[in-house]
Amino acid sequence: MTANIKEHDAPTTTRVDIERVDAAVVERARNMPTATLHEAGGKIGALPSAIKPVAPGFRICGTAFTIHSSGGDNLWLHRALVLAQPGDVLVVYANGAYEHGYWGEVMTTQAKTRGLNGLVIDGGVRDADLLEQIGFPVFSRGLSIRGTGKDYGAIGWLNAPVRIGNVTVSPGDLIVGDRDGVVAIPRDQAAEVVEKAMQREADEQAICKRLEAGENTMRIYGFH
């Protein structure tokens, strides 16, 4: 086992000095609907619709700590739990191997204790009832009781860009998740997109008042 452990070359697989979205921007995005952020950014950042909250009330907002894990193995997730910072959201690409429970009660407990803001994984998790009880927001492709391995020689990366669906998520990006899904906003666009999203929300509230007063969408939007 000692020989295998040496195969984990941290300097070439792990980054810890990442730039993150400013905390004030994250706070402004905290109550923004994911659909509004997606639209305000020019229809960007929507992760696959299969990735949904494990419990209906779960909501995520924070900065991406990205993980490229080998399929069917969660050792890289354990490594990330040591290095991620309070406010981070773990964003995991599991190499297209969906039918495993990469995450459960034990890892959730550690993540919550460390002040992380959630998990988004393009794969399965388990212990759904316990995750809901603990209250740490987890978004996954589904539930799976199938266990994972711990291969010390398996290749993976921490804080390298990951491709989930047709979206590339980079470390430090803004991650927001609600019941509708998950959106990833590039770090260097986050402040602008959040401001546009706030304006969009205000505009839609004004439109709803006009609808309540008896107008219709055909007239308001100029449809024909």
CB burial readout 115-142, b (16+ within 10 A) else e: ebbbbbbbbbbbbbeebbeeebbbbbbb
Contacts of 96 (CB under 8 A, 6+ apart): 71
Instruction: Give the list of residues 6+ apart from residue 74 with CB closer than 8 angstroms, or none.
Output: 100, 102, 103, 107, 148, 149, 150
CA 9, chain centre distance (Å): 26
DSSP 76: H
Q: Using CA atoms, how far apart are residues 150 and 74, in angstroms rounded to an integer?
A: 6
106 is in an annotated binding site: yes
Yes or no: say if 131 and 112 are a contact pair by the CB < 8 Å rule: no
30 is in an annotated binding site: no
DSSP state of 183: E
Annotated binding-site residue? 201: no
7 is in an annotated binding site: no
Residue 104 is assigned to a ligand binding site: yes
Q: Is 132 annotated as a binding residue?
A: no
Q: Residue ranges for the binding site for substrate?
A: 104-107, 126
Q: Residue ranges for the binding site?
A: 104-107, 126-127
Q: Residue ranges for the binding site for Mg(2+)?
A: 127
